Structure 1
């Protein structure tokens, strides 16, 4: 497998993560009936375009999409981290409580005592960012050869 093939595989994996995250968020809201809070909406606003951008990049073998994907995934990671801390750190929710609707500190899921929906989003954004950095690393290695 050549280095370019590895980069294309990495791009495909990033797209797969974004699609799973997008479908997961739709499952929680549309099938399970969980109403998204304000921070959930911000995370969705950043994740849904990633599925589209990475899909186009994957099927056109366009590795330059990383310049759009990396900033979105990093911003999404910070929002997800903030949301997770708001749920899990006592007193942290008082910094910025959600103004309307569902409180951002509400936990619809709490698998194994720590895995909530914001942690799932945090993991997805982190994986996508790591995949984009790996593409950058492979591109630098290609230029040295």
Structure 2
């Protein structure tokens, strides 16, 4: 097997795993919004704007076994992580602000917006972005000669 083929084999699994996380997050957000009828808050919308494109970018990269796909996906995931981190800081009242992230529509801090009545949706988003970034860093490390 060629060196390029070996690299492609080593990067496919973390790329596929990152795509799976992005896909599950996207489907979860769509389920909450479209099936449950919960209107996301402004910060949730921004996080969606960064997560949804990752499904396409990571899907194409995994399909092609293109380890270089991390270059395109990492900045998008990083920006989404920053929004998710800010949302969590507001949610857990670490930083006070006059901005209410969940002021309009359904509050993502309500009891109905928790996984198994314990994990809040903003924390799930932060975990998903963190996992995608970690997997992309594995891809980056494996693509180096």
TM-score, normalised by the number of residues in structure 1? 0.84
Q: Within 1, Cα distance between the matches of 2:41 and 2:125?
A: 14
Counterpart of 1:60? 64
From the superposition, tell whether residues 37 and 93 of structure 1 become closer, same or farther in structure 2 (CA, over 3 Å).
farther
Q: How many residues align?
A: 139
What SS does the aligned partner of 1:94 have?
coil
Alignment partner of 1:44 out of 30, 48, 52:
48
Q: RMSD of the alignment, in Å?
A: 2.3
User: Mind listing any 5+ residue stretches in structure 2 that lack a counterpart?
Assistant: 1-5
> Which structure 1 residue ranges, 4+ long, deviate > 6 Å from structure 2?
none
For 2:56 and 2:117, how far apart are their aligned partners in 1? 33
Q: Normalising by structure 2, report the TM-score.
A: 0.84
Partner residue of 2:27 out of 23, 26, 33: 23
Report the equivalent of 1:119.
123
Secondary structure of 1:124's counterpart equals helix
2:50–2:77 Cα contact (<8 Å) kept:
yes
Deviation at 1:34, TM superposition (A): 1.2
